[in-house]
Chains A and B, each alone.
Chain A
């Protein structure tokens, strides 16, 4: 791998190496992005098995689309866009199968056993609040807050204007505050 001579090759260098046929570069990209994507998909889906499946499918699509990658492009928006497309598609299929809110609520939230009960309850409450957001707002919160992406990049990933993303984010944060108002007041 050409990039291996450096201490830490960039994502784009790894992707270039992978496009040139270096399988080790694909493995490194997976190690970098899989944990990020798994957290993202778990937050959205609250189902470990489906979250893992979507992470694998994201990389499967990345593998199929590797010859579209152009030198100078940024890899992160690529990966995030593929993942968010898959998450959206999953929600759409869920909706089609008429999965009720009740069924979603009864799914096990991804919570670790080591978490204190209070933290677990607070986490479940916030998950519930996030789930009540429209998908378009939830994905903006995911990318803007949790992934720390700037609005311009979020807009690129979700396929809308920066202004629309700002509006969605503002509405989402306002709704979340309203939903968690008592808790937030308690914190302050």
Chain B
């Protein structure tokens, strides 16, 4: 308990005590009603997939998310053709590693236990900016020009649109998964959106053999931007409970 010397001992203490005593007296029926509503809400939540996942321990939630990330990554890596070996530069590898790190950081933020003090908002905002920034920087490291010469005849605009569509589609399950395990962290929706954009970029970077910074900016980096801006606006207009 607080020692007496720690607390104001003069008139202020007296006033604070007065205020504490002046609260509205609580009644049993109010708490009965509140508990009934709460119990119904808990029971309803337990019946949903989100409720089931959110009530797992933090370690279990993280293992679930990591396992699914690794599974999807392995399937994507081996089931579909990677870009030509000539295109796998140091920058290409660095981009993929950076995307992986960002995904793991986002996962840790989103699965943060609620009994710990909430993270400062600037940390979440920082991760979101870095994630979007990383996809833009990666666009300035396209596959080498030698490959670009053979691949630029497809019609840049159409292919950028196709890549963007694929990236958005691939990001949706990542977003959904992160929302399903989020117990209600502030800005969790935007962190999940940024992670979805990064996941889409990871797959596009690994598999898309269309070269050119403009293509990567329009077709790849835009995925993260669309996710963050789009979902940010949606959540602003339709605030969650």
Chain A contact residues, CB within 8 Å of chain B? 23, 26-27, 30-31, 34-35, 38-39, 42-43, 48, 52, 55-56, 59-61, 63-68, 77-78, 81-82, 84-85, 88-89, 92-93, 110-112, 115, 119-120, 122-123, 126-127, 141, 144-146, 148-151, 157-160, 169, 173, 176-177, 180, 183-185, 187-188
Contacts and interface: CB of A to CB of B under 8 A. Distances in A.
Residue picked from B14, B42, B113, most chain A C-beta under 10 Å: B42
Contacts of A92: 121, 186
Given A34-B34, A60-B45, A67-B56, A184 B11 contact: yes
A112 B24 contact: yes
Nearest to B33: A52
Interface stretch (B15-23, B130-138, B153-161): B15-23
Interface in B15-47: 15-16, 18-20, 22-26, 30-31, 34-35, 37-39, 41-42, 45
Contact of B35 (A27, A39, A148, A157): A27
Given A60-B41, A159-B117, A173-B12, A67 B34 contact: no
Interface in B92-123: 113-118, 121
Contact of A30 (B31, B45, B54, B56): B31
A115 B24 CA distance: 9
Interface residues of B, number: 48
Nearest to A130: B19
Contacts, number: 152
Q: Which of A23, A59, A111, A149 has the most CB of B within 10 A?
A: A59
Given A64-B45, A85-B118, A187-B15, A144 B2 contact: yes
Interface of A is mostly: helix
Contact of B34 (A56, A115, A183): A56
Given A180-B12, A187-B14, A65 B118 contact: no
B2 A30 contact: no
20 contacts: A34-B35, A35-B31, A43-B23, A56-B38, A60-B41, A64-B55, A65-B114, A65-B115, A65-B183, A66-B55, A89-B186, A110-B23, A111-B24, A141-B16, A144-B7, A146-B16, A150-B6, A169-B6, A177-B8, A180-B12
A179 B26 CA distance: 30
B239 A127 contact: no
B184 interface: yes
Given A56-B41, A144-B2, A63 B55 contact: yes
Contact of B114 (A34, A64, A141, A177): A64
B7 A35 contact: no
Most chain A CB neighbours (cut-off 10 Å) among B16, B23, B26, B34 = B23
A188 B42 CA distance: 50
Contacts of B19: 43, 123, 126-127
B1 interface: yes
A30 B35 contact: yes
B58 interface: yes
Nearest to B3: A150
B86 interface: no
A99 B26 CA distance: 28
Given A67-B56, A81-B116, A158-B117, A112 B22 contact: yes
B1 A148 contact: yes
Contacts of B14: 184, 187
Contacts of A112: 22-25
